[in-house]
Amino acid sequence: MSETRIHHEDLRIFAQQVIMKMGASEEDAFYVADNLVTSNLRGIDSHGVGRLKRYVEGIRTGYILPQAKPLVVRNSPVIANINAMNGLGQPSGVFGMKVAIEKCLGAGVGIATVFDSNHYGFAGYYAMMALEHDLIGISMTNSEPLVVPTFSRNAMIGTNPIAFVAPTKTERTWVMDLATSVVPSGKLEVYDRKGQSIPLGWATDETGKSTENPSQVLKNLYRGLGEGGIFPLGGEGELHGGHKGYGLATMVDILCGVISGGNYLRDLKFFKEGKPSHPRIGHFFMALDPSYFIDIDSFKTRMDDMIVRLKNAERAEGQGRIFVHGEKEFEEQDLREEKGIPLDERTVESLTEFSREFSIDLKFIESN
């Protein structure tokens, strides 16, 4: 079976042009496109260009204001609170992380919260911005209610990801980027686009029972009723620690929504009573300078040591390799930069529609 691939630079330029056609500036459109394509490069297709349609529709329906610019409303030497003015999430996220980094470079730590924003793509994109300055980076966001609290049958809380990165010396950077749910909603979308069943234990139907049907789960969630949902990290109930994922998701909602002044829990919706609504999503960014605790060269050497020791731990029977966080994604990025980014059929159809609508060239790699 043939596979459709595209060079990452061609895909980035295409996505940027689409968002510019929707009224965003060249710079803001770049951040949207770069976030999406970087996600694809790292093998995180759930947050890649398959979601470009979501942003176009958000602008068309009015809950995303493409020309809005973030505004700092509270400021101190270490902390800032930023109003995204209901603009695109990616430019607001970049702005927030830059503020956190700038404050960190002066004080050793910097924190920025953002409210009245939109979906900002994959969380690791912002945390990794800190690496240029040899800083630890943290990024979180809340999201629409897609996850069922432990012992509940209806979605109340978002997939609320946490990203944490730390610089290294010779080893590849340690990058943890995870949803606080069993899977991100985008993964259900990937399975749905491919017409595949999801494993039992990922999500519930409207009765609270585990289901293999991603289409039904997505319909229940996105038709505005909040019925069923995705299980929190750890899974159903408490046996495998689902209550811990539930707690982590709630923590993210506190740091991103409650403390920033943005929406949280079921208040965070893109549509209310059938009409478009600003979701008022919140983000949290933090930069931390290791050199305030220990010499930076020593810190990076110790990070290398930790990574090497983890990778060289005694392997379980039948296992050939132990990975550290971020390693698989870096290796996938190397591969996709060389061979191109693979796209599923539904994503190809969506991009092709934009190509025709906006008269933008779409250059797929010709298969041999």
Classify domain 4-294+347-365 at the CATH topology level: Ribosomal Protein S8; Chain: A, domain 1 (3.30.1370)
Which residues, other chains included, contact 284 with Cβ-Cβ below 8 Å and sequence gap of 6+? 111, 112, 113, 114, 138, 139, 140, 141, 252, 255, 256, 260
Count CB atoms within 10 A of the CB of residue 308. 12
Dihedral sign from CA coordinates of 85, 91, 97, 98: negative
CA atoms within 13 A of residue 81's CA, in its CB half-sphere: 13
Per-residue model confidence (pLDDT) at position 224: 54
**What is the C-alpha to C-alpha distance for residues 76 and 71, in angstroms, rounded to an integer?**
14
CA atoms within 13 A of residue 137's CA, in its CB half-sphere: 31
Q: Where are the alpha helices (DSSP H) in the chain?
A: 8-21, 26-41, 52-61, 89-107, 124-127, 185-194, 214-222, 242-253, 296-311, 327-339, 345-358
- Asked whether the beta carbons of 360 and 14 are under 8 A apart, the reply is yes
| One-letter identity of residue 290 | P
The contacts found for 74-78 with CB under 8 angstroms, 24 or more apart, are 77/103, 77/106, 77/107, 78/103, 78/107, 78/109, 78/110, 78/111
**Segments making up each domain of the chain, as ranges:** 4-294+347-365
Count CB atoms within 10 A of the CB of residue 355. 16
Instruction: Measure CA 25 to chain center.
Output: 22
Per-residue model confidence (pLDDT) at position 1: 43
Per-residue model confidence (pLDDT) at position 51: 93
User: For 142-178, what is the HEC assignment?
Assistant: CCCCCECCCCCCECCECCCCEEEEECCCCCCCEEEEE
Q: Which residues of the chain have pLDDT under 70?
A: 1-2, 223-226, 367-368
Token readout for 239 is: 């046996």
The DSSP annotation for 270-319 comes to SEETTEE----EEEEEEEE-GGGTS-HHHHHHHHHHHHHHHHTSPPPTT-
**What is the C-alpha to C-alpha distance for residues 367 and 340, in angstroms, rounded to an integer?**
11
